Amino acid sequence: MRVHVLCFGVLKDLLGRDRDLVELGEGADVQSLISVLRERIVFSEKVWSTLAVAVNREYAGLQTILRDGDEVALLPPVSGGAGIDPSTAGWFYAD
């Protein structure tokens, strides 16, 4: 099955794109998707552990079962006004 992954905030900036299409086995859950993405994208553990996830525009937990065509949004923590350049913020990259 295929799911559409949308990236927001600094994730979009770091990846250089705002969406991706990911192939998963039938019955995969959000945790499975994140495991696949962690193999593809090297960020620090802090990023992965603080993400909020929405499936089809509703917040979802790690055990939420995905279906073909689902839209999964990855939402990093939001803060404003810091003026930090995400490309130089060590918090985002693997330690």
Give the integer Cα–Cα distance in Å for 45 and 43: 6
Helix or strand holding residue 15 (H, E): helix 10-15
Give pLDDT tens digits for 55-82: 999 999 999 999 999 999 999 887 554 5
Q: What are phi and psi of 70, to 5 degrees?
A: -60, 150
- Supply the CATH classification number for the domain 2-77: 3.10.20.30
The residue extents of the domains of the chain are 2-77
pTM equals 0.77
| Mean pLDDT for all residues in the chain | 81
Give the integer Cα–Cα distance in Å for 90 and 70: 32
